[in-house]
A and B are shown apart, each in its own frame.
Chain A
């Protein structure tokens, strides 16, 4: 790969590549190498859809579906894909699964589809999916790749759910639209459901993950 020229500016894919070495277990993808909190991939959607818990869960499900599906197909085709065009092939496979999910949402959950807006389509450029296809599915047999996709999808969905939970709780005092914090003593902090709240919430979550994980990964930098 010709990315030594880009050393000033590491892309999403090399970050995914570094995280992909070694035997990946479910725990590894979901916790130790959590794609969102540790590798900081695919944060666009993590910030955008987490203003409500429900949206976060749907988005998590979407990513699990796309990640498992694309990992399976990329892995099945890995010996037939010419190396030079593998990127575009991966994008096409991922886009296909995203279209499946988008059409499904539009057909059965129109309101949800409206709320998520362009962010379902943006799963295509989500570095997690691309990173896993590139780093893992290209070298591994289908079943293991599916497990890897599942693990990373779950890791992403869990962090999304955590952020969505706190943003909805603190921003509106509700969970799934039900009043949890009584309005008598809790004044909803509107900031949490607006854009800055998303940045604060994700920054703090990543900080906490780093703190729990210990100082070891910082040595590389």
Chain B
């Protein structure tokens, strides 16, 4: 695992090991917020940004604080606290210094704390024993992959409004089925690169 270059992990995290389509993380906001392309673009950007930074932060905290002092079992509570605190900080910072960016991203930031993809990326990083550079590649790739998936689904759902879907399957169920087809399509990338 340790020899894989960060670049390969980056590509793999977008296509072959898409965090949403193969690991099912971040489904809640994926289903609920994929109504419009604009909304999902904003959310995707915010998720990518927070994912990269919290992956780096959690890497540093895990390897410099938790592991040396034998506190590994506390990783869940520490990671989620880091994510929540960081999101809060970014929100205050952006609101103060860039009102335009705040309006673009601002309302999505609180949603991100409860997005399991963010916590999941940190946990995968620990389980797969990535190095520092690999973690950056993974965080960035996973974020972009997630954004790509939600934007694609938003585009498809906008088209779906004109289709005649059976009554009980309107809304969430049909979005799930579309996602299934998308996941199948992404399996076509499988031969390109592979990480476990």
Contacts and interface: CB of A to CB of B under 8 A. Distances in A.
B99 interface: no
Contacts of A11: 29, 32, 110-111, 114
Contact of A199 (B26, B110, B176): B176
Given A44-B27, A199-B180, A125 B115 contact: yes
A112 interface: no
A115 B184 CA distance: 23
Q: How large is the interface on A (under 10, 10 to 19, 20 to 34, 35 or more residues)?
A: 35 or more
A10 B32 contact: yes
B119 A125 contact: yes
A98 B181 CA distance: 33
A122 B120 contact: yes
Given A118-B120, A200-B180, A218-B170, A130 B114 contact: yes
Contacts of B31: 40, 43
Contact of B123 (A41, A96, A118, A195): A118
Contact of A47 (B27, B77, B175, B177): B27
Dominant secondary structure of chain A at its interface with chain B = helix
Given A118-B123, A118-B127, A195 B22 contact: yes
Contact of B27 (A43, A91, A118, A130): A43
Interface of B: 21-29, 31-33, 35-36, 39, 43, 73-77, 80-81, 84, 107-108, 110-111, 114-116, 119-120, 123-124, 127, 166-177, 179-181, 183-184, 187
Interface of A: 5-6, 8-13, 15, 40-45, 47-48, 88, 91-92, 95-96, 98-99, 102-103, 117-118, 121-122, 124-127, 130, 191, 194-200, 202-204, 206-208, 210-211, 215, 218, 221
